[in-house]
Every structure is written in structure tokens, then in C-alpha cells.
Amino acid sequence: MIEEVKIYPRCPDEWEWRHSKDGLYSTSIAYEMLTKDERGLVETKFFKRVWNPILPSKIAAFNWKVMMDRIPTKLNLFKRGVIKDMEDGKCTLCEVEDEDINHLFLNCNVARWLWMACANWWGITIKLDKECRKTFENFGTWTKQLSIREG
């Protein structure tokens, strides 16, 4: 990588971003670069769904944290040394199972009850997977039902 660097003795050092023609950083180019990566079409589709521009940014950021398992669940707090004993790692909602991301949002009886209550309220049928990411991939069928209902 260092071999690629050209040194011009009479020019002052400056930052340059390789992905734009003018060398200046641009969030729109960065977004384009990340979402048009040919190596990961599935990831790109997933990424676009998470960072959907119609969502408020704080909702999208929260979704992203859930999908990347970056929520401070008790298991994550244990992994980071915040909780010293997994005996203190029981789910905040049911106090029965260990609290990891999939349990907290999907597999906990309290969470499942909440999801089903929301589905009843919205008048739609939902499919909950055991994993957050797989359930998130089903959100499209949920929103289709809602948009059909609204006409």
C-alpha cells in the first residue's frame, strides 16, 4: 500500500479521498460506494432496507444496531465485562432466559406477546423467525399488508 504513495517533495501534504474525482469526501459518494458493491448483493439489499430513506434516522440507526447485535443486552454487557456474572444476565422482561438480542426482541414470551398485539392492532399477519435479521427480512411482507389495507 505504501508503494502506491507518490511523494512530491515541493507539494504540501494534503488529504485526498480516492473515490471522488476532486479528491474531496462526499457522503453521497460513500453511500453509493457502499450500496453498489458488486461483492455483496444480498448485503446491499439488506443495507438498503435498513437505511431506508423514509425511516427517521434514529429508527434506522436503532435497526442497524439490532441487526449488528450492538444493543447493550445483558449478554453483550457480560462480553464487555460490564456484568461480571451471567447469573445477572437474565432477560429484563421475563427474568427466565439469558438476555441476548434474539431473545430480547423475538424469543422472549413478553416480546412475542407484544409483536402479536401490534399485529392484531395493525390487522396483519406476521411471521417471527428465531433471529432478528431473518425477521427483519420479512418486514417487507408486513408493510405490503399495511399498504394494501390502506389502499
Question: How far apart are CB 95 and Zn ion at their closest, in Å?
Answer: 7
Closest to 69 in 3D by CA, of 98, 102, 111 = 102
* Residues 81-120 close enough to bind Zn ion by CB under 5 A: 91, 93-94, 108
> Among residues 4 and 95, whose Cβ is nearest to Zn ion?
95
Q: What are the angstrom distances between the C-alpha of 64 and each of 17, 50, 60, 73?
A: 26, 6, 6, 15
> Among residues 67 and 108, whose Cβ is nearest to Zn ion?
108
Closest to 14 in 3D by CA, of 5, 2, 27 = 5
Question: How far apart are CB 106 and Zn ion at their closest, in Å?
Answer: 10
Question: How far apart are CB 97 and Zn ion at their closest, in Å?
Answer: 5
Question: How far apart are CB 96 and Zn ion at their closest, in Å?
Answer: 6
Q: Which amino acid is at 31?
A: Y
Exposed/middle/buried for residue 100 (C-beta within 10 Å: 0-12, 13-18, 19+): buried
* Residues 26-85 close enough to bind Zn ion by CB under 5 A: none
> Among residues 40 and 72, whose Cβ is nearest to Zn ion?
72
Please, are residues 74 and 90 in contact by the beta-carbon 8 Å criterion? Answer: yes
> Among residues 50 and 107, whose Cβ is nearest to Zn ion?
107
Q: Which residues bind Zn ion (CB under 5 A)?
A: 91, 93-94, 108
